[in-house]
Amino acid sequence: MLKRITLSTLILSNLFANSAFDDYKHAAEVNFAKEKLAFQNYKRAQEKAFQNYTKELEKYWKKPLITTKKQLVSYAKDDKSRSVIDFEKNKLTIQTVAKNKKEAQQNLALALAQAVTFDTNDFYHKDKLAQAYTKIDKSNHLALSKIEKEPVLAPVFFKKAPTKETLYKFVKKELKPTKISVKNSPKQQNAKVYTLQINLPKNTTLRRSQIYYNSVKKEAYKEQIPMTLVFAIMHSESSFNPMARSHIPAYGLMQIVPKTAGIDSYYYLYKQKRLVGSSYLYNATNNIKMGAAYLHILYYSYLKGIKDPTSRLYCTIAAYNTGAGNVAYAFTRTHNTSKAAKIINRLSPEEVYRKLLRDLQYDEPKQYLIKVRKRIGIYKKLYES
């Protein structure tokens, strides 16, 4: 009798356990489906905002230019003038659509003066697309933040904050008729496109990196990762463009993707699962904090089974670009990092490096690994010598 009762109890408890698990599984699937749908709606809203914005720009520009990972673009309020800072090619381009030389000269002078003195807060509040994205973030209850006032080009062109007099002299020196090219406007009748190009100083990247030195040093120490790695990642991701954004979408200096690295890093830092908005990641302090946190997660959690620190560093760099699972795939043809670690531990760091360059699935992470490894050496000479 006792056996029957015990057996019956066990069967019933298993049934209830299975039922509870099924309920949990169903709830998890429903929540996942809701999250996926919410993010799809979020991306659609961004795409619509992007299309509306570029449509407005097409009234004046044959090819509307938008801020990207390595390029910061700012338009005047009427969209007829724009400044384009190319951090990768080290060029500043100022353009205006005007009906005559006098109007063009005025527009170019104003746009140039603003481009070399604006801080990140100025660029953010002038950027209609950034403002549209923030509205979308707010409506979706994403984590937001104020944008810090950090100089963009002023430290590149001036040894100290420019006065009105030094700014006037700079604009007058650069804005010479011989430097300005003129073409007929393909969009506006009786108007021309006036273009001024200025080469940025050769040490622009170094000067831009110095702006973030204290934040990088602080977060690298806190997360127990090399400061030079953070600088090399930042250089490779954005060329120190604080307003960098890509179509993925990814934002800011270290190109944090809200749906993946953003969620992981925010949870690691604050023990809350939260989707962060674009303004949160345009804040340089937040961006560096989250980027360093994600590197910590990759190095000390996802790839912790790799014993040699240099081998693990190479895998962390590749994983920052393509994900830890894709790194594992290069060694095992599965996304199991534990299995990959066993193989990696039998190889020397240089063998691991060569294996990654040969067997990573895509060319982008291969080139990324080459760039970051090289730049770690550069930042060691700059900041550790």
pLDDT at residue 2 tops 50: no
SS3 content of the chain, % helix, strand, coil (to 5): 65, 10, 25
Per-residue pLDDT tens over the stretch 273-303: 999 999 999 999 999 999 999 999 999 999 9
In whole angstroms, what is the distance from residue 259 CA to residue 96 CA?
37
CB 303 within 8 A of CB 327: yes
Residue 174's pLDDT band, with cuts at 50, 70 and 90, is very high
Per-residue pLDDT tens over the stretch 31-61: 556 666 677 888 899 999 999 999 999 999 9
Q: What is the pTM of this model?
A: 0.89
For 79, the 3-state DSSP assignment is coil
In whole angstroms, what is the distance from residue 312 CA to residue 225 CA?
12
Give the rounded distance of the alpha carbon of 30 from its chain centre: 31
Extract the tokens encoding 293: 């946190």
182 Cβ contact list (under 8 Å, min separation 6): 192, 193, 194, 195
- Residues forming a β-bridge with 199: 91
- Residues forming a β-bridge with 195: 95, 181
Domains, the chain, in order of start with CATH, read: 71-118+153-204 (no CATH), 211-383 (1.10.530.10)
State the burial class of residue 227 (Cβ atoms within 10 Å of its Cβ: 0-12, 13-18, 19+).
buried
Q: Alpha carbon of 176 to those of 144, 179, 184: distances in Å?
A: 43, 5, 20
In whole angstroms, what is the distance from residue 150 CA to residue 341 CA?
41
pLDDT at residue 191 tops 60: yes
In whole angstroms, what is the distance from residue 178 CA to residue 196 CA?
10
Per-residue pLDDT tens over the stretch 6-20: 545 544 455 555 565
pLDDT at 11: 43
Q: Alpha carbon of 267 to those of 253, 256, 285, 374: distances in Å?
A: 20, 14, 17, 31
Calculate mean pLDDT across residues 183-206.
96
Q: What number of CA atoms fall less than 13 Å from residue 298's CA on the CB side? A: 29
In whole angstroms, what is the distance from residue 112 CA to residue 115 CA?
5
